[in-house]
Structure 1
């Protein structure tokens, strides 16, 4: 299978000696990312403090993310994590007048679910977990069925961290709107590997961190809020960068920026933004639709090879029902992850699965080699 991005492999030094297939946890470091870190450190070393440079990097990172999801930069806030983004959103919502329900999935990432549960224990929300079965392809329908007139918020993971199963965010968003509810999309496991068009898909709110398929590092997340909605919400979780003019330094005035910038909190993560500007810029240069197509082919390779080797696939096996991550049942997953690393394969363990999660720089041979080594180690 010809690799369409072979010229880019040289940008990832680890690939010379190691096969990295852990993009559901941490992608390989690229030379542009390393250069961004070096540039940040050089500015710090030679200038001491340069707010102009820092703010420029944050703005450029926000613009690259906005470009990726087909939004305007002003409609994107910059925070420290997806948990922070969800908390800021939750603080701006009301759970009264008979509309107190939060619908989410039982396989969504715990961190976001915990934010919603905090609204239940403190603010009167009622969280309803839709049971999502590992390997299922009907989770979208289950979520849609659970939305009713009492629903205030629908929270979905576009791609599941555990088994990679996908949710059709356009369908769940439409169902939410039909009942007068809002939708929050956790795109941490999908942004950078799947095409996202927040306008075409009718997205209310979407958050993603940079560590995984966005090729960056932890410490920064991006929050898109639909412009009309942003102007209606006032978050109680806030900070000086959520103001109309952060540099007014007025402690007695709580005004909110006119756009999604009102969901900013404290000082943004400058070095992480420098990295995100470089990493997302690389993805935008290549084009996410082309990346998504290649990852679909690698998924097909994994789904074909794993059963042949006697491995149990936990992910959906229906074409198009899963993202880039293919989860394999392994009893002692953490131990096997370490042994895979010793054999030259970086994979990611979660509970009772090993996740094979390639990116555009990976080849079919990478995927097959990792699965064969996994089969050898688990016999």
Structure 2
């Protein structure tokens, strides 16, 4: 298979001596990201404190994320993690008005489910849909669970475990039909699956920078549909949720008239510098082109796994899954360590090894990793 992004491989030094296929956990370090870190540290050394530079980096990162998901920058809040973003949204919801239910699934990332479960003392009732790994009917199962008692529907666009995709436009329509809103966890999809929050009529979407966004942990972006943002008043807040944070008025709780009302404390400025650089690279290439290529690599992974008699835990239709192809392996954590010794960076979760390439990987990378996995497990 021809590699359409071969000219970009030189931007990822680890590829000179290893094969990194762990984008579902941590993508490879790129030279633009390293340069952004060095520049941030250099500014710190030379200027000591430069709020103007810091705020510019946060604003540029917001703008790159907004560009990626077809939103406006003012519709994006900047927080420390997707869990923080979910908690800020949860704090703005009421569960005592005849709509106590939060619908989510057993395949959503536990951290987000825990945020909704933590609302139970406030009256929330969490309905965990019994989704199953490797299936392609999770969208329908979630939609069927929504009713007139539902306040919020929470979905992972791509599952952390097996990569299966939920059709967020379809679950969003089902939520709206019942008067509910939808929260989309895009941590495993942003940067590898094209997202258009306007065309897909997304209410709320959050993503962190560590995985397919090519960045580091410590920063997350929260999109809230403008009309909805103005209706929600969070009780988890901080000085950057104010109309003018630099007014320094301890007696005035004025919420910004946009998604930035969900900001909390001082933003993660160094992480923003990294995210600005990493997402600029992705936007230069174009996520739709990346998504199409990763579907080809998924087809290669599924075919090669079958030829090696490896059990695939992911959906077998490349169009029904993200970049992650999960292989069921006993003692996956130990095998992950042995794969690293062989020069392959992969990611274990419970009983699977996740082969999760990005645009810089090749079909040979994927095939080589699966063949080494087969060798180590026999």
TM > 0.5: yes
| 1:73 CA drift (Å) | 0.1
Kindly report which structure 2 residues correspond to 1:6-21, keeping only aligned pairs within 5 A, or say none: 6-21=6-21
SS of 1:320's equivalent in the other structure is helix
Could you report, residue by residue, the CA deviation over 1:319-355 in whole angstroms, capped at 9, with x for unpaired residues?
4111100000011100000000000000000000000
CA–CA separation in structure 1 for the residues paired with 2:361 and 2:55:
34
Post-superposition shift, 1:176?
Answer: 0.1
Match in the other structure for 2:366: 367
Residue equivalent to 1:97: 97
Q: Secondary structure at the match of 2:14?
A: helix
In the TM superposition, 1:165-176 aligns within 5 A as: 165-176=164-175
2:313 match: 314
Cα separation, 2, equivalents of 1:319 and 1:67: 26
CA distance in 2, matches of 1:35, 1:98: 52
TM superposition shift of 1:283: 0.1
Structure 2 distance, partners of 1:330, 1:186, is: 27
- What residue number does 1:50 align with? 50
Corresponding residue for residue 237 of structure 1 = 236
Distance 1:378 1:321 in 2: 27
1:139 maps to 138
User: CA offset at residue 96 of structure 1?
Assistant: 1.6
Q: Deviations over 1:111-165 (max 9, x none)?
A: 0000000011x20010000001110100000000000000000000000000000
Runs of 4+ in 1 over 3 A off after TM superposition: none
1:217 aligns with 2:216: yes
SS in 1 for 2:375: helix
Counting only pairs closer than 5 Å after superposition, residues 113-152 of structure 1 correspond to structure 2 as: 113-120=113-120, 122-152=121-151
In structure 2, C-alpha distance between the alignment counterparts of 1:42 and 1:166, rounded to whole Å: 41
- Deviation track 1:89-112 (CA, whole Å, cap 9, x = no partner) reads 000011122111100010100000
Secondary structure of the structure 2 residue equivalent to 1:354: strand
In structure 1, distance between residues paired with 2:132 and 2:10: 39
Task: Tell me the CA shift for residue 295 of structure 1.
Answer: 0.1
| Aligned match of 2:79 | 79
Alignment of structure 1 residues 1-379 onto 2, 5 Å: 1-120=1-120, 122-379=121-378
CA distance in 2, matches of 1:43, 1:319: 44
Whole-Å separation in 2 of the counterparts to 1:131 and 1:166: 15
Q: Name the CA distance, whole Å, in 1 between partners of 2:365 and 2:311.
A: 19
- Offset from partner CA, 1:221-257 (integer Å, 9 cap, x none): 0000000000011100000000000000000110000
**Alpha-carbon offset, residue 318 of structure 1:** 2.4
TM normalised by structure 2 equals 1.00
Q: Alpha-carbon deviation of 1:203?
A: 0.2
What are the ranges of 5 or more consecutive residues in structure 1 without an aligned counterpart?
none
Number of residue-to-residue matches in the alignment: 378
The Cα offsets for residues 22-52 of structure 1, whole Å up to 9 and x where unpaired, read as 0000000000000000000000000000000
For each residue in 1:174-215, what CA deviation from the matched residue of structure 2 results, as whole angstroms up to 9, or x when unmatched? 000000000000000000000000000010000000000000
C-alpha distance in structure 2 between counterparts of 1:180 and 1:96, whole Å: 15
Q: Structure 2, unaligned stretches of length 5 or more?
A: none
SS of 2:103's equivalent? strand
